[in-house]
């Protein structure tokens, strides 16, 4: 069914419309847009999803009733350079309801959220930069959303398509109290530490992960642990805690001196990382343990403890039973005190992340069409 047909269907049945603007055309953005026409069909009786804009860091295609099936061709042919003010002006003139789906990694785009909210937009984020802004900015955003009665869904910022934030929200809404959340939040570091067996230097596993596309362009960005630190902050804020990144103790997997300079500088000194990981691996193996780069947030007697570090865990511990690239979240609460709630599965990948974004979109549709 064409975009025009959807519009006619909406008019004939008087069902509401939702204008969708997608920011980000990388792997996840492309996968999201590829699935969009199926979502239009799925919700055709409840709401008419109208693709009303596609933007990336360089170009924008801003027009009503864009055809999702031909978005790549149309974007390449008709997309034009734009400024942030151009996007905001377009959104202000666009009839609501409307949602901006942020699939960028950009902090500068996240800092446009106040203007997007002022323009009347709901927000769905895969971009962690917005949900990990300094607490004062984050709380101001939340207040602005409440004032405008708009939604901000960000379930894919942690765990890709795994519904960890949704589960936390449901537990809290039902009266449970969470004492601790721990787990492995990085698919890259999950793969590295599940694969590493001491048979060759750890840096060679890093190089293999890079060649497979599992790492950032500079794998030291993964080894720094900062991405895991951001994800733990997201979950802390889901619990209503007013934390900033600096409140989360970070012990990088990579020695700090190896993070300085270019990739080639690191590669020439990689033996320092290799010898460190080998010693830790051998010690863990001797103690019948495995290495996991884990995050932990605990609330005990009003005291908050949050940290991200490399840990040696027992073979029968939940964090040990992990497949390469998987994430795992262990939730301990009043209801899950003796037997924690464990959520495990793929924590990265364009398919599962795009699916998680569509789940957030479905949640918004249910609220608007309800």
User: Active-site residues: which are they?
Assistant: 231
**CB count in 10 Å sphere of residue 243:** 18
| Alpha-carbon separation of residue 26 from 33, 121, 228 (angstroms) | 10, 22, 22
| Closest CA relative to residue 298, chosen from 330, 256, 344 | 330
Q: Cis peptide before 135, with omega less than 30 degrees from 0?
A: no
User: From the CB of residue 163, how many other CB atoms can be counted at a distance below 10 Å?
Assistant: 18
Task: Please list, in sequence order, all residues whose beta carbon lies within 8 angstroms of the beta carbon of residue 26, skipping any fewer than 6 positions away.
Answer: 56, 103
């Amino acid at each position: 069914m064409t975009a025009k047909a959807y519009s006619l269907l909406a008019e004939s049945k008087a069902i509401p419309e939702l204008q969708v603007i997608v920011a980000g055309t990388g792997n996840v953005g492309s996968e999201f847009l590829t699935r969009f026409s199926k979502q239009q069909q799925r919700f055709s009786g409840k709401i008419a999803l109208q693709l009303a804009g596609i933007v990336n860091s360089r170009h924008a295609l801003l027009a009503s009733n864009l055809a999702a099936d031909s978005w790549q061709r149309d974007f390449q042919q008709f997309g034009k350079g734009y400024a942030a003010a151009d996007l905001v002006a377009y959104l202000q003139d666009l009839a609501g309801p409307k949602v901006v789906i942020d699939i960028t990694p950009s902090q500068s785009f996240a800092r446009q959220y106040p203007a997007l909210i002022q323009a009347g937009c709901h927000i769905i984020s895969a971009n962690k930069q917005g949900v990990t802004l300094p607490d004062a900015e984050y709380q101001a955003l939340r207040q602005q959303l409440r004032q405008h009665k708009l939604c901000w869904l960000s379930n894919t910022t942690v765990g890709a398509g795994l519904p960890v934030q949704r589960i936390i929200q449901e537990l809290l809404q039902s009266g449970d109290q969470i004492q601790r959340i721990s787990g492995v939040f990085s698919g890259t570091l999950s793969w590295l530490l599940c694969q590493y067996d001491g048979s060759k230097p750890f840096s060679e596993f890093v190089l293999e992960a890079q060649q497979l596309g599992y790492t950032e362009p500079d794998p030291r960005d993964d080894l720094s642990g900062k991405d895991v630190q951001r994800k733990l902050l997201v979950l802390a804020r889901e619990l209503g805690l007013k934390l900033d990144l600096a409140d989360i103790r970070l012990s990088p997997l990579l020695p700090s001196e190896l993070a300085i300079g270019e990739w080639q500088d690191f590669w020439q000194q990689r033996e320092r990382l290799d010898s460190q990981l080998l010693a830790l691996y051998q010690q863990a193996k001797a103690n019948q343990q495995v290495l996991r780069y884990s995050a932990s947030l605990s609330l005990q007697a009003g005291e908050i403890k949050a940290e991200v570090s490399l840990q040696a865990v027992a073979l029968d511990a939940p964090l040990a039973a992990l497949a390469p690239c998987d994430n795992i979240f262990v939730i301990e609460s009043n209801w899950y005190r003796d037997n924690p709630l464990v959520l495990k599965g793929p924590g990265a990948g364009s398919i599962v992340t795009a699916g998680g974004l569509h789940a957030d979109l479905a949640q918004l549709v249910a609220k608007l069409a309800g």
